[in-house]
């Protein structure tokens, strides 16, 4: 198993190394700043089969594997090229459809995802629900052969680039459901459908994907666009959210390594008082600790991905991986900035640009506090605190 994983990682590493010679960090920064997207890079990844790694072979993919996607995202981020849309579209879109979709849905959407011809975004967060996802108010009401969708979502990544939205809604209002986990359904929604309105949020984050608030005003969704059984979307939802946590953890670890690599190179060559600053334990020890924490987080992340692929209960490890990666990523970028001193705040070193992303990972897509609540209650068996 380890030999197979090592060979796979080496194959992905070689591909990413070739890809990022052409589409490097400077390319990513330019596209993230301008908002023009990375369509050329996306097409090359599709042609090489790397957009199909979460799609079963019978639908044009290379076999549904969260492990392979995790490795890919980590290797890209190691080189300073995070691709958030791979998380959103190919983890949160493809995996739930592959696991829970009807045959018609799989035939319709999965080949196009693998080809890179279409993308999904995922819409769950609401202004009044926040971390309490079960308390969402967006409602899908049956009306003949369709549903009528009304409500709003916020902080929806890349909604302007997606051809489809996977929307989490209630088919039974929360206050009428006997169990908070019941009455939730997922729907594949056309972003251009009548009644859908998008507004870009003013987030100050360097990323390829913009954030949006979306309003649904009587949007008609065909019955065949429901993913999974009505009211039983709890499992479907977490087959999107757990891969999201794992793949974002991998991306955060990669960004931490990218920043730490800059710090190590600088500390080897920058001399103050006639010796390289990396010779001083005041800097070398924090860098060594940051490296240790990044690699520990990586081990947890890959274990969570392997467990998910094998059909095990990956929720605990996905949450722990996301927590560990966020803390390690923040630590690594912070240490790298301290090593660079004042120059860390200049565009030339390209470090301050990394800080908003790693800091965001402590808050989104699930906060550090909610992860700790989950671990306390579901892992340690402590009384529920909220």
Cα angle: 40, vertex 37, 157; to 5 degrees? 130
Same-domain pairing of 46 and 174: no
pTM for the complete prediction?
Answer: 0.96
| Same domain for 82 and 164 | no
Domain assignment present for 386? no
Q: Which among 115, 138, 173 is the end of a domain? A: 115
pLDDT value of position 1: 46
Residue 182 lies in a domain: yes
Residues 128 and 202 in one domain: yes
- Is 247 in the same domain as 216? no
**Same domain? 20 vs 91:** yes
Residue 250 domain-assigned? Answer: yes
Q: Are strands 164-170 and 120-123 parallel, antiparallel or unpaired?
A: parallel
Ramachandran region, residue 314 (left: φ > 0; alpha: ψ -120 to 50; beta: rest)? alpha
Q: Is 384 inside any structural domain? A: no
- Domain range enclosing 24: 2-115
Quick check: is 201 in a domain?
Answer: yes
Measure the CA–CA gap between 116 and 89, rounded to whole angstroms: 10
| Residue at which a domain ends, from 67, 87, 115 | 115
Same domain, 135 and 80: no
The CATH number for 334's domain is 1.20.140.10
Q: Of 190, 214, 232, which marks where a domain is finished?
A: 232
Looking at the structure, do residues 97 and 138 belong to the same domain, yes or no? no
CATH number for the domain spanning 186: value is: 2.40.110.10
Q: Are residues 223 and 269 in the same domain?
A: no
Task: Tell me how crowded residue 197 is: count the other CB atoms within 10 A of its CB.
Answer: 12
> Where are the extended beta strands (E) located within 69-145?
120-123, 139-143
Number of domains in the chain: 3
Same domain, 158 and 197: yes
Q: What single DSSP character describes residue 80?
A: T
Q: According to the model, what pLDDT value does residue 159 have? A: 97
pLDDT in tens, the chain (386 residues): 445 567 888 999 999 999 999 999 999 999 999 999 999 999 999 999 999 999 999 999 999 999 999 999 999 999 999 999 999 999 999 999 999 999 999 999 999 999 999 999 999 999 988 777 888 999 999 999 999 999 999 999 999 999 999 999 999 998 998 888 899 999 999 999 999 999 999 999 999 999 999 999 999 999 999 999 999 999 999 999 999 999 999 999 999 999 999 999 999 999 998 999 999 999 999 999 999 999 999 999 999 999 999 999 999 999 999 999 999 999 999 999 999 999 999 999 999 999 999 999 999 999 999 999 999 999 999 999 88
Domain check: are 343 and 211 in the same one? no
């Amino acid at each position: 198993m380890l030999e197979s994983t090592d060979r796979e990682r080496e194959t992905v590493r070689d591909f990413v190394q070739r890809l990022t010679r052409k589409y490097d960090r400077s390319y990513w920064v330019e596209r993230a700043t301008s908002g023009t997207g990375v369509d050329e890079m996306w097409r090359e990844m599709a042609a090489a089969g790397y957009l199909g790694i979460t799609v079963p072979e019978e639908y044009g993919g290379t076999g549904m594997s969260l492990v392979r996607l995790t490795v890919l995202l980590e290797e890209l981020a190691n080189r300073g090229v995070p691709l958030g849309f791979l998380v959103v579209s190919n983890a949160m879109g493809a995996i739930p459809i592959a696991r829970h979709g009807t045959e018609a849905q799989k035939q319709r959407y999965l080949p196009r995802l693998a080809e890179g011809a279409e993308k999904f975004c995922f819409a769950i967060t609401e202004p009044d629900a926040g971390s309490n996802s079960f308390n969402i108010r967006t409602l899908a009401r049956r009306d003949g052969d369709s549903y009528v969708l009304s409500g709003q979502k916020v902080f929806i990544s890349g909604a302007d680039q997606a051809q489809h939205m996977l929307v989490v809604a209630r088919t039974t209002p929360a206050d009428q459901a006997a169990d908070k986990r019941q009455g939730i359904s997922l729907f594949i929604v056309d972003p251009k459908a009548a009644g859908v309105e998008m507004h870009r949020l003013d987030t100050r984050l360097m990323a390829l994907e913009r954030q949006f608030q979306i309003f649904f005003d009587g949007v008609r969704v065909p019955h065949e666009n429901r993913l999974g059984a009505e009211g039983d979307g709890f499992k479907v939802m977490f087959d999107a959210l757990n891969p999201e946590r794992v793949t974002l953890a991998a991306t955060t670890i990669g960004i931490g390594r990218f920043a730490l690599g800059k710090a190590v190179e600088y500390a080897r060559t920058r001399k103050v008082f006639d010796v390289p600053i990396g010779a001083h334990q005041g800097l070398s020890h924090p860098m060594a600790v940051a490296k240790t924490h990044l690699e520990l987080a990586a081990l947890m992340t890959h274990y969570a991905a392997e467990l998910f692929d094998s059909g095990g209960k990956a929720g605990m490890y996905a949450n722990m991986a996301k927590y560990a990666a966020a803390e390690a990523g923040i630590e690594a970028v912070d240490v790298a900035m301290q090593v660079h001193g004042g120059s860390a705040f200049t565009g030339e070193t390209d470090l301050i640009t990394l800080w908003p992303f790693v800091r965001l990972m402590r808050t989104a897509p699930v906060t550090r506090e909610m992860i700790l609540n989950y671990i306390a209650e579901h892992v340690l068996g402590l009384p529920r605190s909220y």
